[in-house]
């Protein structure tokens, strides 16, 4: 009897790994976008790929909302303005001045606005894997966002994640079901400039921590 | 006067994008590992790359704990056994039998155990970006996990995320600071087999949702 062949595999070579490393290093949180429109088919293909991210119990809880109307976009931008003004109050002196100078979003110019939610009521996966760590449902959506981020950068697209928002307001503005949690509000478009160092590092807000400080043993 | 040259860029070609797509499609939650040890330098380089994930306010809140002692590993495995027995109680009939048949972890054979935490008390980033959405600190760690997952697969390594655990117990077992939150407990090693379909899909626990059901417009 001949042996049943095992499932085939896919190997990646050193050249790919080097390019993947470059992809990770060149991924940035982008705040300055060109206004050129992006082909909707490209966005759709990126979302399709992002949907292959891991999810707890294979529950695929990501829900992608393309925010297209001027009215919704303006309301979200107002939410950012309010939340950012409030955040500024937490800083004093030179740090306050520095915060005020930072550009923290690209809502005005970005051609694509994408709100990403977790469907907390999904029946998919039948609850597997999230009895003791229910937050893994939300974490699954973050994995899809990071996959999208890398895939977008490979297409020459920049992505910016705006967390300075009132999440309940954004849910109301976008009229999503009560059981959806806002995970990320993303701007996508062609970046005006490219960098390997994060904006907050370049403007001396926060330096990179050495890997040694991040690894421990038990 | 000559113009200051802009920062250089890094472009990725169609062949890379196709290979990246393959990487995303061949990434799996692995539960069957070979026992071959993994070079610690390889793990370190993967963690260094994962540390280039995005983080809110560039706060880099990921803390990686390599779990090496038999005592710690056994205690974590006991935590899984308890949590899994309890999870089983949530299912009835055929679904219960199906759950009981699933292999949900590779704790026994995996050569590398890695617990990943979020340092909720980090001063890095000075709180920027997380006044209204504080959970973005935890989300940042998930982005690092997904980056690690893809980078590991590119090296031919499998990774499995175990969420069927008692998170407070795992913190106690590993004696981490009170301000650290367990995000993920990961097994890493050479996989026994490779697949493009998730285990839970292959064993008819949960099918893949069509992309159409996941994209909305406003």
Q: Which residues contact B50 (CB under 8 A, 6 or more apart)?
A: B62, B144, B145, B147, B148, B151
- A179 touches B at CB < 8 Å: no
> Going by C-beta distance under 8 Å and a sequence separation of 6 or more, which residues neighbour residue B13?
none
pTM for the full model? 0.96
Query: Could you tell me the pLDDT band of residue B1, with boundaries at 50, 70 and 90?
Result: very low
What is the pLDDT averaged over residues B2-29? 86
Q: Residue A215: closest CA among chain B residues belongs to which residue? A: B64
| Contacting residues of A for B205, CB less than 8 Å apart | 57-58, 125-126, 128
% of chain A residues with pLDDT over 70: 97
CB contact under 8 A, B52 and A16: no
User: Quick check: A23 contacting B, CB < 8 Å?
Assistant: yes
Which of A11, A154, A206 is the closest to B124 by Cβ? A206
Residue B35 has pLDDT above 70, yes or no: yes
Closest-CA residue to B215 (of A43, A149, A39): A43
Please give the pLDDT value at position A8: 78
Contact B193 A17 (CB under 8 A): no
A200/B58 Cβ within 8 A: yes
Are B10 and A26 a contacting pair at CB < 8 A?
yes
Shortest distance, CA B155 to any CA of chain A (angstroms): 7
Cross-strand pairs, B186 = B114, B161
Confidence (pLDDT) at B5: 45
- Hunting for tokens 């064993």 — which residue is that? B203
Nearest-CA residue of chain B relative to A217? B66
Enclosing H/E stretch for A74: helix A70-88
Judged by CB atoms closer than 8 Å, whether chains meet at A27 and B54 is answered as yes
Distant-in-sequence, close-in-space partners of A154: CB < 8 Å, separation ≥ 6: A23, B12, B16, B17, B20
pLDDT of residue B2: 45
Neighbours of A88 (CB within 10 A): 13
Each residue of B135-164: pLDDT tens digit?
A: 999 999 999 999 999 999 999 999 999 999
Q: Rounded to whole angstroms, how far apart are CA atoms A7 and A195?
A: 41
pLDDT value at position A2?
A: 44
Rounded mean pLDDT of chain B?
95
- Is the distance from CB of B32 to CB of B201 less than 8 angstroms? no
* Contact by Cβ (8 Å): B185, B105: no
ipTM above 0.85, yes or no: yes
pLDDT tens-digit map of A109-126: 999 999 999 999 999 999
> Which of A7, A184, A200, A210 is the best mutation test for B, with the most CBs of B within 10 A?
A200
Beta carbons of B133 and A165 less than 8 Å apart: yes
Torsion, Cα A132 A135 A138 A144, to 10 degrees, reads -60
Chain A residues whose beta carbon lies within 8 Å of the beta carbon of residue B69 = 218
Dump the DSSP string for A85-144. HHHHTT--HHHHHHHHH-----TTT-SEEEEEEEETT--GGGGTT-SS-TTHHHHHHHHH
| Tens digit of each residue's pLDDT (9 = 90 or more) over A151-184 | 999 999 999 999 999 999 999 999 999 999 999 9
Q: Which domains are present in chain A? A: 30-203 (3.40.109.10)
Query: Dmax of chain A from CA atoms?
Result: 79
Q: Quick check: A3 pLDDT over 80? A: no
Both tokens assigned to B34 = 């070979």
């Amino acid at each position: 009897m001949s042996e049943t062949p095992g499932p085939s595999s896919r190997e990646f070579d050193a050249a790919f790994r080097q390019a993947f490393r470059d992809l990770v290093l060149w991924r940035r949180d982008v705040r300055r976008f060109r206004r050129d429109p992006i082909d909707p088919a490209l966005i759709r293909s990126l979302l399709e790929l992002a949907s292959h991210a891991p999810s707890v119990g294979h529950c695929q809880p990501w829900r992608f909302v393309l925010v297209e109307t001027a009215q919704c976009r303006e309301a979200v931008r107002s939410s950012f303005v309010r939340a950012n003004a409030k955040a500024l109050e937490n800083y004093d002196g030179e740090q306050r001045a520095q915060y005020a100078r930072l550009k923290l979003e690209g809502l005005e110019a970005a051609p694509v606005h994408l709100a990403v939610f977790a469907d907390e009521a999904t029946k998919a996966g039948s609850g597997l894997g999230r009895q003791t760590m229910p937050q893994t449902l939300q974490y699954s959506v973050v994995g899809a966002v990071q996959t999208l981020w890398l895939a977008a950068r490979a297409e020459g697209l920049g992505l910016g994640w705006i967390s300075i928002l009132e999440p309940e307001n954004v849910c109301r503005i976008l009229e999503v079901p009560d059981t959806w949690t806002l995970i990320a509000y993303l701007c996508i478009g062609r970046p005006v400039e490219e960098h390997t160092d994060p904006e907050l590092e370049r403007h001396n807000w926060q330096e990179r921590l050495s890997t040694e400080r991040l690894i421990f043993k038990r």
